[in-house]
Chains A and B, each alone.
Chain A
Amino acid sequence: MRKILVPIKRVIDYAQKIRVDSSKGGVQLKNVKMSMNPFCEIAVEEAIQLKEKNKGAEVVAISVGPKQCTETIRTALAMGADRGIHIETKPDVRGDYIDLQPWAIANLLKGIVEKEDGVDLVLLGKQSIDSDCGQTGPLLAGLLNAPQATFAANIERDDDGSFTVERETDTGTETIKLNASGKPAIITCDLRLNTPRYPTMPNIMKAKKKPVETISLEDMVKDLGLDLDEVLTPKNEVVEVYEPPPRKEGETVGSVDELLSKLREKGLVA
């Protein structure tokens, strides 16, 4: 194996309380704790595990976002990735579906895959927890005309370079084989795939020395021969973002009779 690319996304930490900032038409991002998208963490962990099984493979973490994304890339490096590519956006460009959307990301990634050359596998999280689209992986596969498997719960690499993937579906597990095709396999990762490791001190120290290439979005777009407006103009417009209505408090009843009479009152029972 030569190269595994892992695109990762910096999102609001899943445990944070989300507040809607109606003036900005989106959720409040100021001073909120951010982390690597949990599914991207799983993708990084899988990449490292594959690298450990296939000596000589290189794991490259890629992120598109503001300057703080370098931290997210460092976390991937501290887990064991070899180098990072940070496509830096201006601070006001939002990654949570308002500005940057999967189509743009997929196009950027396609460009990087072609530029890097020798990429055997692109591992992505199945979706991000802010936009919940789940589109970037499949779009990338479509753009590259590459084989894909989504919602991976188990990945095995065979000696001939093909991948056998067990994927989660609503009705059970499906096993798919991605044949070696000269194109990178595109696999998106689901929860059961692995448990991401902790960054440990020795690796955190090593990560500080690993190279991270930072390039502005504008320059990258130019480099790849894409159109900046095309990339930055979202294909979908977010019309409104609002908080779900507060849950109504339930009522406690004292007896089965009381329950029945309340149900009748509400017309739920004859």
Chain B
Amino acid sequence: MFPLTSRLRFGLRYCTYTLSKRRSSQHHGICWYTTNYSRKLRGPTAQDVSYFRSILARPDKSVLDGTATHDVMDELQKYNIDWTKHYQGSSDLVLRPQTTSEVSSILKYCHENYIGITPQGGNTSLCGAATPISNEIILSMEYMKRIYKLDEYSGILTCDAGCILQSLHDYAKEAGYLFPLDIGSKGTCHIGGNVSTNAGGHHFFRFGGLHGTVVGMEVVLADGRVLRMNIDADDDNDDDCTHRFQYSSASLRKDNTGYDLKQLFIGGEGTLGIITKVAVACPSLPMSKNVALLVCKSYTDVLQVLKATKEELGETLSAIELIDWNTMKFVQEYGSGIGESLISELLSPGATNQPLFILVESQGCDPESDSKKMDAFLTGLYELSAIENGFLAQDSTQIEQIWGIRENCNPSVARAGFVHKFDVSIGIESYMEVAEEVRVALNTANLSNLTVCVWGHVADGNAHINIVSKQFDKDVATAERIENIVYSSVMKRRGSISAEHGIGQSKRKYMHQIKDGAVLELMSQMKNLFDPHSILNPGKYLPEN
């Protein structure tokens, strides 16, 4: 793959860079190569910038050029630094196209000239997938945010990849539909990024993942070719339709006519192509919503709760989320303040030392009967002492507060200190075992001053393990030791080291350990097929050889 001649992040070695007029201050001097090592990739030059200016309809909006001037450094920073502040790129050029044909022209040029590109949506990646590593051109989808339509019978919503997830929720709600993906960053993230990373979210359990709900897609390949797969949308003046066959299917719920190529781009993290439009099948907006926050004294009780949800709530169950004591404490201290009176009650000294909190949500089409189901569910658990206490939201304000607490977990912990972030998948029975094992191992290894926090989608077996240190760990060795402790605990249970956050920059080095040789080989052959000049998101996803 990419024979990275330098270590990322902490300690970079330099290698000579071809052609670019670099400002010496920021550049990391990393070289990318094409797969067969025949050519080196390069960063953009002033000439390239003029070319881009000439092909884009609104160059003043679409080109953020830092190649010749320092004036736009502040603006460039927000594209170059990721949400977790662990990764910083040194891109000098951001392109913000407005149509698919602009994306296609940009990529065609970059492909021909061996220029590296990092596609970026909302820049909310938690594994460094969306920020450049060196001075790759950032291709931001922020100006491609049209919603084309929502079919009133099929519920299929067709839109640009740069639509902010919250806007899709609002649009679908107006039409009586529910957008099937819901995550904490929905006010910022783009659907294109969500699809590229196969985001899971709160309702994965109920509606399934994007592999099932995305029914159509438009993608631009590295060489500029546009792939249209079961999608029906036109961002006007898109004359690049020499490949559009007039009989190709358009946004159908079912279509079994050929290899389902779009599945490769879902979770492909922008390494095989850039998603420009999506068609997503939305379920009808449920009429009822019931949310309760339960208090369990141990994980064994949580398992009982899980069983009961299947028996009592059945098909109305839409989310179960676990939040542990340490996380709740951080939410109290560093959260936005939402639900603070509830949090005080939850954290008041009670019967058990450090209970676990479970958010249960049910949604259905009959408010009366769904309320009764929720009541029967809670009463049953309370009578069995499987829950010590439960707080049932009685109206929308209280529902928002309970969800607000859950969505505050990530940002609160991020404010509490330096976070070693892990997102793992394990068998539901062993869900808390990894965290417990890690705690013991950290103590044994004399790694103190670390708080292990766990929260996540327990019914999916997906735990977000966040280890918070009060001070910034400049020590790479410590970060690596922690990583080793966590991942070996997960891998020995044959779990996944990335349930939903993806590989990006942070987990590439483990790919050889966790993937079958034949699988890796095919993945790299596929990369070569879709992106023979390796310009898309270099340095990410697939491992170095």
Interface residues of A (CB under 8 A from B): 13-15, 17, 31-36, 38, 41, 68, 71, 75, 78, 195-202, 204-205, 254
- Residues A200 and B389 in contact in the complex (CB < 8 Å), given A32-B287, A71-B371, A205-B382: yes
How many angstroms from the CA of A204 to the CA of B58 in the assembled complex? 61
**What 5 A-B pairs are tightest by C-beta distance, nearest first?**
A15-B396, A198-B391, A201-B390, A35-B395, A33-B367
- Residues A68 and B395 in contact in the complex (CB < 8 Å), given A33-B287, A33-B288: no
- A201 touching B382, Cβ below 8 Å: yes
How many angstroms from the CA of A201 to the CA of B394 in the assembled complex? 13
New contact pairs (17) apart from A31-B366, A202-B389, CB-CB < 8 Å: A14-B397, A15-B396, A32-B367, A33-B288, A34-B367, A35-B394, A35-B396, A36-B395, A38-B397, A41-B395, A71-B371, A197-B341, A198-B391, A198-B392, A199-B391, A201-B387, A254-B58
Selected from B288, B371, B391, B395, the residue in CB contact (under 8 A) with A14 is B395
Selected from A71, A198, A204, A254, the residue in CB contact (under 8 A) with B398 is A198
How many angstroms from the CA of A208 to the CA of B378 in the assembled complex? 13
How many angstroms from the CA of A196 to the CA of B366 in the assembled complex? 26
- B394 touching A199, Cβ below 8 Å: yes
Closest to B397 in A: A38
- A199 touching B392, Cβ below 8 Å: yes
Closest to A11 in B: B395
List chain A residues, Cβ under 8 A from B398.
196, 198
- B395 touching A38, Cβ below 8 Å: yes
Interface residues on B, range: 20 to 34
Nearest-Cβ distance from residue A238 to partner chain B, whole angstroms: 25
Nearest-Cβ distance from residue B175 to partner chain A, whole angstroms: 10
Nearest-Cβ distance from residue A45 to partner chain B, whole angstroms: 11
Nearest-Cβ distance from residue A175 to partner chain B, whole angstroms: 26
Closest to A254 in B: B58
Which residues of B in the span 367-395 have a Cβ within 8 Å of any Cβ on A?
367-368, 371, 375, 378-379, 382, 387, 389-395
- A195 touching B395, Cβ below 8 Å: no
Nearest-Cβ distance from residue A127 to partner chain B, whole angstroms: 16
List chain A residues, Cβ under 8 A from B396.
13-15, 35
B174 touches A (CB below 8 Å):
yes
List chain A residues, Cβ under 8 A from B371.
71
15 pairs, A vs B, C-beta closer than 8 Å: A17-B173, A36-B395, A41-B394, A41-B395, A78-B392, A195-B341, A196-B398, A197-B341, A199-B394, A200-B390, A201-B389, A201-B391, A202-B389, A204-B378, A204-B390
List chain B residues, Cβ under 8 A from A34.
367
- A200 touching B391, Cβ below 8 Å: yes
Selected from A41, A204, A254, the residue in CB contact (under 8 A) with B392 is A204
List chain B residues, Cβ under 8 A from A33.
287-289, 367
Most buried by A among B289, B393, B396: B396
- Residues A201 and B378 in contact in the complex (CB < 8 Å), given A32-B367, A71-B371: yes
Closest to B341 in A: A195
B342 touches A (CB below 8 Å):
yes
Most buried by A among B58, B174, B288: B288
Closest to B399 in A: A15
Most buried by A among B366, B368, B392, B393: B392
Contact flags (1/0) for B292-328 with A, using CB distance below 8 Å? 0100000000000000000000000000000000000
Nearest-Cβ distance from residue A213 to partner chain B, whole angstroms: 21
